[in-house]
Structure formats: C-alpha cells, structure tokens
Structure 1
Amino acid sequence: MPEVASTKDHDDSANDGVVVVGGGPAGLAAATAARRAGARVVLVEAGDDVGGQYWRHLPPQRPARDEGQLHHGWSRFTEMRRSLLADEGCEVLTGASVWAVEARAPHLPGDAPVLRVVLAPIGGADAAQREHRLLRPGALVVATGAHDLTLPFPGWDLPGVVTGGAAQAFAKSERLAVGERVVVAGAGPFLLPVASSLLSTGATVLEVCEAAGPAQLARGWGSHPARLLAGPRVMAAKTAELAGYAAALLRERVPYRTATGVVAARGEGRLEEVVLARLAPDWSPVPGTERVVAADALAVSHGFTPRLEVALAAGCALREDGFVAVDDRGATSVPGVWAAGEVTGIGGADLAQVEGELAGLAAAGAVAHPGTHEASQRLSQQLSQQVSRLLDRRRTLEAFAGRLAAAHAPRAGWLAQVTDDTTVCRCEEVTAGRLRAVAAATASTADTPAGARSLRLTTRAGLGVCQGRICGHAVDAVLGRTSVGRGAGSGVGPVSHQRRPIAVPVRLGELAALPAPDHQTSDHQTADHQTADHQTSDHQTPDLTDSEEPRS
C-alpha cells in the first residue's frame, strides 16, 4: 500500500522568492528573467522535464542527434534549461503539480497577500512515497499554458481519435505515430506542426483539414497589415517557420484543405474511417459534400483552452474571452500574482517567452531587497530598460496573435454536427440528446451557477475522471451557454468547470494527513472562496486520475 505523503513546511517569516508554475516557454523565460534580476526562484513543472508541450523531447536517457531539427528555438530552450538547473538560486521541481492555492492575509497593512501554494506529489501518482511541499511565494507567476480544445462530433470517442496535442506529444517524446494512416483536422496553424511531427515518424498523413474558409482566413490574417510590417523580424521568423511546415507537406504530397471538417468518425471497436465535409462560413456542414476517408487515426484540434485551475484558485479575474486578465507587464487582479503565456491568450511560443520575461522581471522587482537607495535605483533602471525593449516586441507579437485568433476562431455552426446521439461527456457517456432533454424538461439552462449545477448533477456531464477538462466547453455550448467564455458567435462555452478547490488528483489519505490550516485567510478572500465553492460544489470531490497533458 502506498505510503502517505510527507509534508515539508517553512518558517512563517520566510518566503520562497518568485514561484513560477509551469515549465514551458513562458515559465522558463519568467524563471530565467527573475534569476537574472537577482530573485530566488522555485520553478514547478508537472512533467518529467521542463519544456512544456512546445519543447517536448526524448528523455535524457534516450538523447537524439536530430532533436534540434525537430524544434524551433531549441538552442534557446537548452540554454535556459541548463542555466536554471545549474543555478543554486533556482530550485526546479519536476513531476510536481500545484493542487491548491490559498490566499492569506497580508502581514502588514498595504502588503500584497502571501499566497500559500500546496504542491502535489513529487513522483508518479502511484509512487510508493510522495511528498507535499508548502511554498510561500513572495511573488507568484502562473504560466500553466493551455491544452487542446476539441469540438465533439459523432464517433469522437472511438479509439484512434486523439487530440492534435496528444499526437504531437507521442511523436516528440517517443518517436512513434498514433497510427499508420492519419487525418489531421480542426482549426489553426497548430495543425501544421502536428502533421510535420507525424511525418517525421514515418506515418502517412492523408490530408490536413482546416475548418476556417478562405474568407475567414483572409479577414483574420489580412486585417491592418501595416501593424505586421512594423515587426519585419517577427514576420520573417514566422514566415520561415510556416515555410518549413509547408515544405514538409509538399515533399510528402499531403493535401491541405480549407473550409473542411470532420462530421463523423466510424469503425467497429476503433477508428476505421473519417467522414469529411465542406463547411459553410459558420462551420456548419454543407449537405451533399460528405466523403469518406479510410484511416486508422484522426488527430483533431480546434485551438486551445487555457489551464486556469491555479489562476482561478488564486482569485485572478478573467477577460470576457475566458483568459486571465493582465496588464502590459503580466500583473493580474491579485496583488503579488502575475500570469504569462497561453493562460493569458493564445499567441505562440515567441509571445509566451516575451510575456514570461516581463512577468519574471516584475515579480523579481516585487521581492527585491537591494538594501541601499542607490542599489534600489540601479535595479529599477536596469529593469526599466529591459521592460521597455520587451514591451515593444510584445506589441508586435500581439498583432500576430490577434490575427491568429480572428482567422481560426470557432464559429457557432459547428453545433449542427452534434446530433442527439453524439457523446459529449465521454467519461460519463452523456449524449447531447440527454443534455438537451434534461434542459428542456427542467426549463433550466447553464446560464446561472444554480442551473449549471442542477444540469451537471442530473446528467453527470463533466463529473467524470476528467472533471470537465475535456468536455466542459462542449457541454456548456450544447446547453446554449455561450454568452461568455469564448465570445459571441463562437459556440464555445465558458470556463466555470475549471473552478475547483482541488486542481489535480490527490489521495484522500494525503488530504487527511495534511496539517490543519492556520486560518490566516482574510475576510475578503474567505468570502470569495465561499462564493466559488457555492458555485462549483459539484466539483469538490477530488478526481483521482490524471487529466490530459497540458500544453505550456
């Protein structure tokens, strides 16, 4: 029987400097910038190694000579990784997950609140001995990234249907393909590196299907071209990256089709064929255009959704589109908490790194103790110069990110493919018809916390092992709850399913063994958490299996 996890704590008067949650491009950049500014850093990464999905690679015991050829910015990654691992002022915790964040009362009037970050197991979920750590950040940087957003269709629960992120992760970390004959479908430029990764394993990519049509793509990428010209280096790099992916597809004669999507996946016991169709501008299937492609794997991704558990637990406000709201230096609505990378918006690894640097510098400045007035002025001047340079680069990259969002954002017509017999919640096997019938019978919708809770409890949708991480958006969308979260017209629901007091799987015995809380939470924070608990009480039972791999 596994041992109960041990618990390590620190003196209440101490803090852990800058704590960065997430070891992808944004988190690595934040940790590196904070260390260069002189702050002590703790970097927390859930995976076996830092790098996130973007720099996922073979394990150290299986090095590959061609690793750098499979990744953009590989030398930048290896330098950041090497410097942080060798730096005594930076502690890197891998295989560690933040499962709770507790905002505590300020020590002195006017001070930013001290955040108590409880770290879940260092070691596998079934490790014989696991360890819990209590970290008290002087400043917290949330860089938890995002994971695939998949819009349901009949047969998406068949073995052989995987997310684009899963297909890419398998190819990068194992040099294996998810199938021999693969269709790549969904929306966004991420489809291209997924196809390229599959080709590198020797798989046959039958075609790449982009849901957005030519008009949507032209409107998105063609708006305000002068802003793109303001950053010629950025555009040159992006163009070169795109050309590399396009060349890979051309060499293997892989068709790339726009306004095309998956309307069904079929097979006996596993995927055998994919039904594709032309899509109207609103992404609804055009009748009579269906065609069948024989395939043993389908990699599908319609963009990304942010991993918000840590940010929401810290009390961070969200924008209307469901991402964490930050200022130009990454500060959130909570004093002492910054956010960077795709948890604040999808913009690619380059933008994530710039945001990480900005957040890391700001967090380092918040915990700095330079001693003398002269030292304080020198530090302030150094940070100011770095920040000014980074802000200019961020503005250019944000222009690119804005076009990406406009060109590939989901359109509400995708719901037309979700027939009543389509499974929406795969964990609990809840169909769209069941959701719609219960909503109609109870005259309730998911537009209010009470209505959402009632529907979830009645249907069990979103209450399975993934706790709504995979199906939450789709459940909300099928029920018509699309007024917030992804924007009007997207047909993609909000993010209330990510509000949970326990962010990742932990054992009940470990919870029981933890020391009692010290009840230092302020009245304001207590009220906030009571409200959140009331709204999401159906998620308070801890999920005991792991969730989809994050993309950081």
Structure 2
Amino acid sequence: MTRHVLVVGAGPAGLAAAEAALRAGAPVTLLDSADQPGGQYHRMLPEAYAARDPQRVQHGWNAFDRQRRAVLGHPRCTWWPRTSVWTLEQRDAGPPRVHVLRGGVDGEGRRREVVEPDALVLAPGAHDRVLPFPGWDLPGVCTAGAAQAFAKGERVVLGDRVVVAGTGPFLLPVAASLMEAGSHVVEVLEANPVSTVAGGWAGRPWELLPHAAKARELAEHAWDLLRHRTPYRTGRAVVAARGDGRVAEVVTARLRPDWSPVPGTERTTAVDAVCVGHGFVPQLELFVSAGCALRDGFVAVGADQRTSTDGVFAAGEVTGIAGAPAARAEGAIAGWCAAGGDPAALRSELRHRDRGRAFARRLLRAHPVGPGWVQWLHPDTVVCRCEETTCGDLRRALAEPGGSGARAVKLATRAGLGPCQARMCGGAVAELARRSGGQEAFGHARPIAQPVRLGELASATAEEEER
C-alpha cells in the first residue's frame, strides 16, 4: 500500500525527508511557511530579485539547489509554500489530522484545509534563544537569526555599526552575512571564556574528523572577520543597551565562567544595531499537541526517528541542536521510514546522524549558558516584551504564596500571554521561577501553534466548499 507522507518544514531536515520519501515510492506533500524551501540555513532571495550569484552567502548551495529542484520537480511531490500548521487533531489510529492555513501570514483570504496523511514528518526547526538585559526591547536590538534572515533573504542590514553577541558558532555566519550585506561589524562577543570553549571542542579531537566541512566553513567565517579587522572576543557580553527611541550604544562587560559580570570591566560602544543569540530553542508546539514524548527539552525519537505517537516522525533541531548536516541525515531517515522503508538500508545516514548527536553534545559543553546571566537584570528590566512585564513584576509575583506555577505567574503579570506566546520570554521566566524555589513556569502546550483569525476558523475548509 502506498503511504502518503506529509512533511512539515522545508529546511535541511524537511527537504531531505521529502527526497527520501519520494525515493521510497511515496507520494509526498511538502509545506513551509516561507515562499521557497531552504529554511534559515539556505534562506533564498525572492525570485523577483533575479540574483545573478545567489550562493554568495550560502554554503553547500550547489547540492541544495540540486536537491530542491529534484524534490519540487518530482511528479509525486506536492509543494505548498506560504502554508502554516495551526493545530493538530489526534485520531483514534494513525498520525494526527493536520489543520493548515494556506496563504501569507499577514495576507487576506487565507484558505483553511485539513490533511489526513498516512505518515507525518515534523521538521519545524528551532528559534533563537535570547536572554533579557536592560534595553533589549529598544528598536535596533534583534536576534542573531533575524539579522541573518534579513541579510540573506532580503539583503537588508539593520544598522551600519553592529555588535554581534551571545554564544555559539552561529555568531560567526551571522557576522559574515551582515558584513556581506554592507554592515560594519564592530566586534563579535562570545560570552564563554576561552577555557570553556576550547575545553568543549578540544577533548577527543579525533571525533571532529568527520566534521571537517564544518571546520572549513567556520574557518572561512573567521577569515572574513580577519579580513574586515573585526575583533572576536571571548568571556564578554552585552549587558545593557541604551538609546532614546533606538539603540545608540551598548554596555559590554567581562564575564566570569558562570556569566556573572566582573565589576569594573564595563565598556560602552556606539552602535546603531545589536544582534544577540544565546543558542536555540526547539519548536515543540506541534509535538506536544500530537502527544509526543519529550526528553531533556527535545523530542524523544527511536533509531528510525519515530516519536512515541503512532505515525509521527521528527527530524532536525527538534531532536537536538546539531546543525544542518545532522538535520539532513535525520530528515533522510525520517522520510524513508515514514514511507515504509527499512532503516537498515541507510547505513551512511545513520552514521551521520549518530555523529551529529555527538556533535550536539560537544556543542553544549563548549557553549553553555551560565546561570549568572540573571545578574544582568535590574528590577525595571523588561523580561516579557509583548506585555512589558519587568523583572521586578515577576519577582514580586513569584514571592507570593503559590505564585510560582505557570498559571499564577501569567495571571499576575501577563508574562507569556502576548503574540509570541512565551517563545521569547519563556526560558527567562522559567529560570527566575526556578531560582525562587518554584516550578519552571512555561512549557510548549499551545493548542494553537500559529496565529489564526476568528473569521478563518469560522470559514469552510476547501473540501467543504467543494462539497
């Protein structure tokens, strides 16, 4: 029996899943909220730009372009761009019923449709984790991922003088993208000290041999910094941003290994944009809605990328932050197995997947988030930007009897109830709650994963209109 495979997300993992499922003989529907496949890693310029050299800020462009053309041009592949999954509805057997909205997020006339696949591969990826600091809500302060998206996807820079700060190797390609698009990157700041970074990467160096391509990519980005005379400093972070209506300067400080600031090391730098990123948070809403088991903050999967929910497979950053090569390997395994293929036939992909998981563990050791970051906060520091909830508001609410639970904190402060639904502030609020001796306050249990208008909910689905 031919199995219809629905793949959600067209980044490296989702595209590889679609290709593998097609190779296994299954009809595939591939959907993504963007106009074109590629995800953040292979974010493409709009076709209207008619770019002569689209690969200038891309790594592995030729292989991606071949894969993209092969998948989208396959007779058994249906490509749904500008499509969002807003909820999953569990069924008695098989994968959940998938409710989607087709059309631009901010556009009119979006069409509601329901898909009942035989197998479901979820590869929604992850979003930036950003730790709050005084002034992070000023215009001109953005996530590292957003800055890269503008630079790679629109050739738009957020400022002329930019500081890139946070932790992790992702800071290097972000800086490279900004410089390619025309920004002057004043400095790149890695919050962890060189001892932590080197200790995480240097141990058991032979394990890094399979990741030579990543090393070459990072070397290219390091050369970009050297060529533009951009300093890369470790053990230092942005602890405040200042400006009247827009960021005009940042305060940086040297950090101890636990990320607490060293008094007297503050330095002020004039900027007109700040890009910060402290790792990534997997997008787990759809998995929680589908009833999939989680492990250590990620989706728990078996050797074939199968989740605990019947007919649902997971691939990419939702199973562990390991980069695009590991995501592609996981996607290939998930798509192949979702179509009914035998995972034993994918020995190479299984090896790449296991190496990717080892890389993820090494990445976590080399670039941890230190607990001392909470010392950056002042009572009037905004933590939930949607609802303008301050650190002082949260601490007062958490100090109340029974005030440490998610519902109590939300009712008392409205933190997490804004448009982003705690995607930006959830981790920070959870850490503050933990330090107050309470429960971690926010999870991913959102029955509505994407914004949907009441009029769209009330409208008929495409099938209902046909009937």
Shared fold by TM > 0.5? yes
Residues 111, 456 of structure 2: 8 Å contact kept: no
Does residue 27 in structure 1 map to residue 14 in structure 2?
A: yes
Query: In the alignment, which of 504, 516, 526 is matched to residue 450 of structure 2?
Result: 504
Report the alpha carbon displacement of residue 483 of structure 1 after superposing the two structures with TM.
9.8
Query: In the alignment, which of 265, 268, 280 is matched to residue 244 of structure 2?
Result: 268
Shift of the 66–90 alpha-carbon distance from structure 1 to 2, 3 Å rule, reads same
Report the alpha carbon displacement of residue 66 of structure 1 after superposing the two structures with TM.
2.3
* 2:361 alignment counterpart: 402
One-letter code of the match for 2:135? G
Shift of the 211–494 alpha-carbon distance from structure 1 to 2, 3 Å rule, reads farther
Report the alpha carbon displacement of residue 484 of structure 1 after superposing the two structures with TM.
12
Amino-acid identity (%): 53
Structure-1 separation of matches of 2:441 and 2:319:
15
Structure-2 separation of matches of 1:337 and 1:482:
37
Report the alpha carbon displacement of residue 433 of structure 1 after superposing the two structures with TM.
0.4
Residues 19, 140 of structure 1: 8 Å contact kept: yes
The normalised TM-score by structure 2 is 0.95
One-letter code of the match for 2:379? D
Q: Deviations over 1:214-250 (max 9, x none)?
A: 121122112333433xxx3x33211210110001000
When the two chains are superposed, the root-mean-square deviation of aligned CA atoms in Å is: 1.9
Give 3-state SS (helix, strand or coil) of 1:199's partner.
Answer: helix
Query: In the alignment, which of 97, 100, 125 is matched to residue 119 of structure 1?
Result: 100
Task: Give the 5 Å matches for 1:365-384.
Answer: 365=340, 380=342, 384=344
Query: In the alignment, which of 269, 272, 277 is matched to residue 296 of structure 1?
Result: 272
Structure-2 separation of matches of 1:40 and 1:421:
54
Query: In the alignment, which of 201, 222, 228 is matched to residue 246 of structure 1?
Result: 222
* 2:403 alignment counterpart: 444
* 1:145 alignment counterpart: 125
* 2:323 alignment counterpart: 348
Give 3-state SS (helix, strand or coil) of 1:182's partner.
Answer: strand
Give 3-state SS (helix, strand or coil) of 2:135's partner.
Answer: coil
**Paired residue total:** 461
Structure-2 separation of matches of 1:388 and 1:93:
31
Query: In the alignment, which of 88, 94, 97 is matched to residue 81 of structure 2?
Result: 94
Residues 284, 416 of structure 1: 8 Å contact kept: yes
Residues 462, 468 of structure 1: 8 Å contact kept: yes
Query: In the alignment, which of 440, 453, 461 is matched to residue 407 of structure 2?
Result: 453
* 1:369 alignment counterpart: none
Shift of the 482–48 alpha-carbon distance from structure 1 to 2, 3 Å rule, reads farther
Report the alpha carbon displacement of residue 395 of structure 1 after superposing the two structures with TM.
2.1
Structure-1 separation of matches of 2:291 and 2:432:
28
Give 3-state SS (helix, strand or coil) of 1:480's partner.
Answer: helix
The normalised TM-score by structure 1 is 0.81
Residues 265, 274 of structure 1: 8 Å contact kept: yes
Give 3-state SS (helix, strand or coil) of 1:186's partner.
Answer: strand
* 1:364 alignment counterpart: 339
Residues 429, 442 of structure 2: 8 Å contact kept: no
Report the alpha carbon displacement of residue 512 of structure 1 after superposing the two structures with TM.
2.6
Report the alpha carbon displacement of residue 344 of structure 1 after superposing the two structures with TM.
0.9
Report the alpha carbon displacement of residue 338 of structure 1 after superposing the two structures with TM.
0.6
Structure-2 separation of matches of 1:114 and 1:329:
16
Does residue 56 in structure 1 map to residue 38 in structure 2?
A: no
Report the alpha carbon displacement of residue 268 of structure 1 after superposing the two structures with TM.
0.7
Query: In the alignment, which of 73, 83, 92 is matched to residue 70 of structure 2?
Result: 83
One-letter code of the match for 1:414? W
Report the alpha carbon displacement of residue 467 of structure 1 after superposing the two structures with TM.
1.1
Q: Deviations over 1:40-61 (max 9, x none)?
A: 1111101111111111121112
Give 3-state SS (helix, strand or coil) of 1:442's partner.
Answer: coil
Task: Give the 5 Å matches for 1:147-546.
Answer: 147-228=127-208, 232=209, 234-320=210-296, 322-365=297-340, 380=342, 384-385=344-345, 387-445=346-404, 451-480=405-434, 496=443, 498-514=444-460
Q: Deviations over 1:170-202 (max 9, x none)?
A: 001111211000000000000000000000012
Structure-2 separation of matches of 1:225 and 1:174:
38
Residues 95, 310 of structure 2: 8 Å contact kept: no
Structure 1, gaps ≥5 residues long? 1-13, 107-112, 366-378, 446-450, 486-492, 516-552
Structure 2, gaps ≥5 residues long? 462-467
Shift of the 245–126 alpha-carbon distance from structure 1 to 2, 3 Å rule, reads closer
Residues 382, 388 of structure 2: 8 Å contact kept: yes
